[in-house]
Structure 1
């Protein structure tokens, strides 16, 4: 009898967990970076509430034909891992804690939030 109640309770809990809606995963806040425009001017780029777990190539610095962005500022509630290469590839990367930033010396082309 107890086994039947235990199994019924476990199935009920499993059903409840499966049917609960899941929230979209995103970092809340803004990620900022500085880049050089094609005309040679300094500009600030930003990502508002970026998605978590997806690699984002930084507009204005996302190809080898352009200089990399620099001085990233992670003003989100998630950890940001920035990469020197586009598509979050390569072994040159740096992790920024939530609320953290780096100097002009850190060059970046892509970021992923986790």
Structure 2
């Protein structure tokens, strides 16, 4: 009985500690350019984006347009995708990396 009590207590402690762990995030700012009406350009940014999760860029999610000219000033490598929900062709930018307006993107995931 004592062994079972110790086992249950250890399991509860492990669960409590695991739920207190903060979510991982890339530290820094990821910026990109996107088309605006009637023919301008806006700048979007993701500040301290969550790692390991697909992030759809809100300015181009529901449009035919794509964002471009990404700059990765975060602490992580980012993989950018041509489609929403991290689909389509992809390209990775290391921390400090940037790309030209030829690199089109709609979503990203940070390592």
**Paired residues, what number?**
99
TM-score by length of 2: 0.80
Give 2:4's aligned residue. Answer: none
Give 2:94's aligned residue. Answer: 97
Give 1:51's aligned residue. Answer: 50
Offset of 1:22 from its aligned partner? 2.3
Kindly indicate whether the alpha-carbon contact (under 8 Å) linking 1:34 and 1:72 is maintained by their aligned counterparts in 2: yes
Kindly indicate whether the alpha-carbon contact (under 8 Å) linking 1:83 and 1:93 is maintained by their aligned counterparts in 2: yes
For the aligned residue pairs, the C-alpha RMSD in angstroms reads: 1.8
TM-score by length of 1: 0.78
Offset of 1:23 from its aligned partner? 3.0
List aligned pairs for 1:70-89, cutoff 5 A: 70-89=68-87
Give 1:60's aligned residue. Answer: 59
What runs of 5+ residues in structure 2 fail to find an aligned partner?
A: 1-6
